[in-house]
Chains A and B, each alone.
Chain A
Amino acid sequence: MELRKNELTMSIAAALAVAFTPLPAAAVDGGMAAGPTYYEQLVGAGSLADLESSQGGLPGALYVVEAAGGVDYQAVETSGSETTWEVTLEVAERNHERVEAVYDLVLALPLPAGADGSAAFEAEQWGITAQEGTKGASVAFIYGGEKVTLKRNVALERTWLPLIVGAEAGLPDISETGYAYTLWDAVLRYDPGYGNRLQGLATFRYQTGAGVVAPDPDEERNAAFVITWIPTLDPSVPPFTIRLDLRPPPQQ
């Protein structure tokens, strides 16, 4: 038992060391490089079980990397006092995690919010379905034999966002932008049959009142984040997160 404790402590220390190593300046997106992925490095020659904790808990920090791709908000239709918006998220081809685990793929997506933080939008869809390919020529993203659809997780928003929004290694605080983070997630089982790299695309439509404006692409805080979390890991292990910068909406 004592040995196990020591192993766990050492593993967590190793994990933290990897997590807080400054990123090489050139490596804007670590997922583009060949070699082990974030969780593969963490696990190393040991086993995932060494990094896991039997105590449930939420990480207070994220391991955020800049990723190729981006997010844009576009008003696609205005009728009377209502505007329909379409958000497009793109994740460029990148390595995908090959650690045998069950993952929670969480999308932190800023969406319009009232002054009190309550939602100021009405979703047209109950979920965000991931696609492969390019806009206009995409197919459903199938992983582990299933279509990947991220559903809004209000309970996770209630519990996790207060821990990570505004934290030093967390999500930027966007509370004064008229937007607030929403969390959408899907639990995925590692699919060993999937290739080494993946690429993704997703769109999401919602409606707002007429006064709502798109988030400002020049505001550095505005971004969406895709968090690849192995929830069974010790909460001190920051989940791997890619940042999708806000892009100006494409010209019609």
Chain B
Amino acid sequence: MCQIDSVKVRISRLDPRAWPGRSERGLHVPAPMPAIPGKDLGRSLTRGALSGLLLGIASLPGPFGLLVFVALVPLLAEIDRGVAPRRAGAAGFVAGLLYFAIGFGFVPFARVGGGLALPAAYLLGIVVLAAPVAAFAALLAWLRRFSRSLPLLVAPGGWIALELVRSQDLIGVPWLHLAYALADLPWLIQAASVVGLYGISCWVASVNSGLVAGAALSPRGRVLLAISLSLPLLPGLVGPAPEPHDGTPSLRVAAVQPGIPESSRHDRASFHPNLRRLLELSTRVVERPVDLIVWPESAYERDLAPNGDAFLVSIANGLGAPLLTGAWRFPRPLSTAKRNAALLVSRQGELIHAADKVHPVTIYERAPRTAISRTLARLGLWTGRFEAGEAASPVAIERTGGSPVPVGVLICIDTSYPDLVRELRARGARLLIELSNEAGTGRWSARLHARIARFRAVEMRTPFVRVANTGPTQWIDARGRLVHALAPGAPDAAVRALELAGPPPLAARLTARVVVAAALGFGIGVSGLSAGFRRRAHRRAARGSGPRFDLNQVMEGSSRWSYERMS
């Protein structure tokens, strides 16, 4: 795995007294890892770049998702080799740059916001996002000084901690998690209903760590490792358990995908043609029995005043079914700030506020709130104008011949925030609906969103309907299988019945922070236990009885890195 022989000379120069006191106490500890010679900097950066490239490709919409299982291997192997933290940080930075440059490659080409805001945000963003990856790699390299197993055990927890941190509002980038790369292969991610998004990302990172560690394990150790890393596949291999239903277990949802280009959206001259298209498509689908008609994000291109909109009510009345549509609304009288909202017209003609977008996209959607964003806005580098909304409760959709169904409504990227979806599920949602529009950001981003929706369906064990202006519009069952999809780009509409969700799964009760803390705790705990075993073994060895098991020793012994062999 590592070119150990080439560094033997330097190792021999190591002074065991570099860690004062340990030798004196008689403890047998591994020495600090030697710095790899400067000529290997290129190699470290190349390995970092390879990881970034693989991560980036795995994140692309396409059949490359499985690459995510090996994408971190080059970087982790380089850290495992014992490079200095600074060099590992440089490799991590290169990995992060490439990962996010490829993964967010659609951003500079997006036709939203105008001006240089998005290209500038892209360039700045990939640097900001790459920095924590650099810190992650440097930290692992530093931990490598203490034990060989420690960084590999900590890496999964550390990686998902990065994913969690960048998903918070401060950075606001809840995409490109390792787990999402597998969303198009739902049989692989069924364990998401138990461990959630971060659990699956942790599993993927663990497989990467395992591949690095496995090279140093005995055949028996490798088998044990492979078995334990395969355990999350079990829920996908076992058939679904029958779920309790209330007699009328499905909801017939009509989704309308108007395919209106960004250039003519919310253009006053195009209002009527756009509305005509929505109505024509809707009329086509309501010829069959329908429980709910759904239009995409901000499809109804009138700003809704706090007192509602009689026209929207008339439209729903004409269609003869409840209508859920995206629209921009003024939340308060005399308010100048808008919210990107979802409105429901019930069978009784009531206009119900179903949801607001809780996380408007930074830069081009969210109104500036801080001094920095206001300055950027003055420079034309921040074009957002929407205020954030609050998390909503599910809305009740009446069915013919059944009790009302609580439906959770999400607007576009809000689907990327597991906590929001978890909250809807906890409040009783038995179906999730996402209203989206990616006409400006393009098909690439739409495919990424569609993946996220699919993942959420599995994670929350909830059927999911994603209704997107330019597609793909999808009906997804509670195990992430596509029931039906409309081809992206073309105007279309369809109706499909989806079986409603049963009781919430464990993932609906598990917060991201708990998973991250558990993963980090597991890594550190196992490594600590291993160190404890090692000390005990050494004491026993000193008393004449041999060691039983030591993960570090197994790994370090096999690659001849242990202090005793080098000194």
Contacts and interface: CB of A to CB of B under 8 A. Distances in A.
State yes or no: do A and B come from one complex: yes
Interface of A: 47-49, 52, 54-58, 100-102, 104, 106, 146, 151-156, 158-160, 185-187, 189-190, 231-232
A232 B276 contact: no
Q: Which of B271, B307, B311, B348 is most buried by chain A, counting CB atoms within 10 A of its CB?
A: B311
Interface of B: 268-269, 271-273, 275-276, 279-280, 283, 302-305, 307-315, 317-318, 320, 348-351
A154 B348 contact: yes
B302 A54 contact: yes
Given A189-B279, A232-B302, A151 B317 contact: yes
Contacts of B320: 151
Contacts, number: 83
Contacts of A160: 310
Contacts of A232: 271-272, 302, 311
B302 A153 contact: no
Q: Which of B268, B303, B348, B351 is most buried by chain A, counting CB atoms within 10 A of its CB?
A: B268
Contacts of A49: 268-269, 271
Contacts of B307: 56-57
Given A52-B271, A56-B309, A189-B279, 6 more contacts: A56-B310, A100-B272, A104-B311, A155-B349, A185-B314, A189-B272
Contacts of A155: 310, 313, 317, 348-351
Nearest to B328: A54
Contacts of B305: 55-57
Contacts of A153: 313-314, 317, 349
30 contacts: A48-B272, A49-B269, A49-B271, A52-B268, A52-B271, A54-B302, A55-B305, A56-B307, A56-B309, A58-B310, A100-B273, A102-B275, A102-B276, A104-B311, A106-B314, A152-B317, A153-B317, A154-B348, A155-B310, A155-B348, A159-B313, A185-B314, A185-B317, A186-B318, A187-B314, A189-B275, A189-B279, A231-B310, A231-B311, A232-B272
A108 to B, nearest CB: 14
Q: Which of B275, B303, B314 is most buried by chain A, counting CB atoms within 10 A of its CB?
A: B314
B271 A56 contact: no
Contacts of A100: 272-273
B302 A101 contact: no
Contacts of A185: 314, 317-318
A228 to B, nearest CB: 13
Nearest to B267: A49
Nearest to A157: B349
B349 A156 contact: yes
B308 A56 contact: yes
Contacts of B317: 151-153, 155-156, 185
A156 B304 contact: no
Given A56-B308, A57-B305, A187 B315 contact: yes
Contacts of B279: 102, 187, 189
Nearest to A146: B283
Nearest to B280: A189
Contacts of A57: 305, 307
Nearest to B345: A155
B267 to A, nearest CB: 9
Contacts of B348: 154-155
A84 B27 CA distance: 102
